[in-house]
């Protein structure tokens, strides 16, 4: 308790001075970040354009006529954060299709009027709703006041003021510590870790303070109002330090809730549930989807229950489980399998801790086969937990060995990213394998 009290007092004293120091250095930091993204963008040979639910790939010659990433950002800023989706160019990603479902989804009943949003706009809408409905809510992180690297906090400081939406020093450990201190006093703290790869300096605060805060006090204290958001996963040019998926590290920590949405519609509902949850939440946002995923998102304030998986597609032959951006590849694999007469049941976990084992168990007892797929390295990935649980609970129902299709046990490669990722072809091979073994 003494440590926590000192931390809270230190946050109150040091934050104004630290903010001034951050304002001095932010310009040079932003310039470095911008030049790095520009360099990576110029090395790409393709560009991707989202056009109302479809994705087009152009050759390098055609790409020259497309607006650059920064030109698209400038146009977005000029439009006050509302992209014209018909002409938005996303970060280059030559081997991925945008996830844009067009059929009505029975899992999302009508909630009134909707607006076509991409993922970052959906996150922005959820943050706006939270700040509007909760006067204690604050939003903070590196460059958050300027809209953030991915524009998820665009215009929020202008509407809610610099005391509720503000920048922090370049210290992930400090961001997590401040969130704990503020939430422990009864406030709602929404912190942003600029990239999930940078969450590791904050692990001491997350694992040893945030996750244990209620338990160690016998439920006398709480930091339930903490939500830490972090963009994660592959983006096409992120390399070693801007592409990682750290969910397995986080899911090994009792006391946390870990969430990863697959698209704009579920992202808004899941984020609002996370912010209002009575436990600290790590909300991982697949950054490749920020502009490539477009859906009709309800304008209303709505929540999607945490800890509940979603059956995206009913099937009878094989159960396929994934989360986040991987669902796009799995959907493509299921579509390819259907052309060969294989019926796949596709399930999105949505919440990884606690995860909905019951839904997966019911599905595997029906199909007799299971494939788990994720971007993170295969060894000790969260898919191993799913496979172990299902092996224990469904042993006598399994008709073939459980298959895991995941990233390789190497640092995330830059030039070899296309070969590293568990794409639809690798997953289709796994589907065929379990069907063959089950004969």
Residues assigned a catalytic role: 172, 242
* Beta strand residue intervals within 53-212, DSSP E: 54-58, 89-90, 114-118, 137-141, 165-167, 188-192
CA nearest to 257, candidates 223, 219, 221: 223
* Beta strand residue intervals within 260-308, DSSP E: 281-286, 294-298
CA nearest to 424, candidates 378, 377, 371, 380: 371
Residues 47/91, Cβ–Cβ less than 8 Å: no
The 3-state DSSP composition of the chain as helix, strand, coil percent (nearest 5) reads 45, 20, 40
Helix (H) or strand (E) holding 307: none
The answer to whether the peptide bond before residue 354 is cis (omega within 30 degrees of 0) is yes
- Token output for 134: 């909760």
CA nearest to 263, candidates 332, 155, 350: 350
Distance CA 319, CA 371 (A): 6
Q: Is 20 helix (H, G, I), strand (E, B) or coil?
A: helix
DSSP letter for each residue of 215-246 = HHTTTS---TTEEEEEEES--SS-GGGSS---
- Token output for 58: 């152009």
- Token output for 6: 């000192």
**Beta partners for residue 345, in sequence order:** 319
């Amino acid at each position: 308790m003494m440590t926590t009290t000192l931390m809270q007092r230190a946050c109150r004293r040091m934050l104004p001075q630290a903010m001034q120091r951050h304002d001095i250095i932010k310009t040079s930091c932003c310039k470095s970040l911008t030049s790095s993204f520009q360099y990576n963008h110029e090395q790409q040979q393709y560009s991707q354009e989202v056009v109302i639910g479809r994705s087009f790939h152009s050759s390098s010659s055609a790409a020259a006529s497309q607006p650059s990433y920064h030109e698209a950002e400038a146009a977005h800023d000029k439009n006050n954060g509302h992209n014209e989706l018909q002409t938005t160019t996303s970060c280059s990603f030559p081997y991925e299709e945008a996830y844009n479902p067009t059929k009505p989804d029975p899992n999302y009943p009508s909630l009134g009027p909707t607006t076509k949003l991409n993922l970052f706009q959906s996150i922005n809408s959820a943050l706006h709703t939270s700040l509007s409905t909760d006067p204690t809510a604050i939003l903070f992180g590196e460059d958050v006041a300027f809209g953030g690297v991915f524009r998820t906090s665009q215009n929020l400081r202008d509407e809610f003021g610099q005391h509720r939406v503000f920048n922090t020093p370049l210290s992930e450990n400090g961001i997590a510590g401040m969130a704990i201190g503020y939430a422990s006093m009864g406030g709602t703290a929404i912190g942003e870790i600029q990239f999930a790869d940078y969450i590791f300096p904050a692990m001491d605060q997350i694992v040893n303070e945030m996750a244990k805060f209620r338990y160690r006090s016998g439920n006398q204290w709480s930091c339930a109002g903490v939500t830490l958001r972090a963009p994660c996963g592959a983006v096409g040019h992120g390399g070693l330090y801007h592409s990682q998926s750290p969910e397995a590290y986080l899911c090994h920590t009792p006391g946390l809730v870990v969430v990863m949405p697959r698209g704009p519609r579920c992202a808004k509902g899941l984020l609002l549930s996370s912010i209002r949850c009575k436990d600290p939440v790590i909300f991982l946002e697949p950054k490749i989807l920020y502009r490539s995923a477009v859906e009709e998102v309800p304008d209303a304030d709505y929540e999607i229950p945490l800890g509940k998986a979603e059956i995206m597609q009913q099937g009878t032959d094989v159960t396929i489980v994934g989360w986040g951006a991987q669902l796009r590849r799995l959907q493509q694999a299921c579509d390819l399998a259907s052309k060969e007469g294989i019926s796949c049941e596709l399930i999105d976990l949505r919440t990884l801790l606690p995860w909905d084992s019951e839904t997966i168990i019911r599905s595997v007892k029906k199909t007799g086969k299971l494939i788990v797929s994720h971007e993170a390295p295969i060894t000790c990935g969260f898919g191993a937990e799913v496979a172990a649980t299902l092996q224990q609970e469904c042993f006598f129902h399994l008709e073939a060995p459980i298959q895991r299709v995941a990233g390789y046990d190497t640092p995330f490669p830059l030039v070899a990213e296309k070969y590293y990722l568990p794409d639809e072809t690798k997953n289709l091979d796994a589907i065929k394998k379990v069907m063959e073994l089950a004969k």
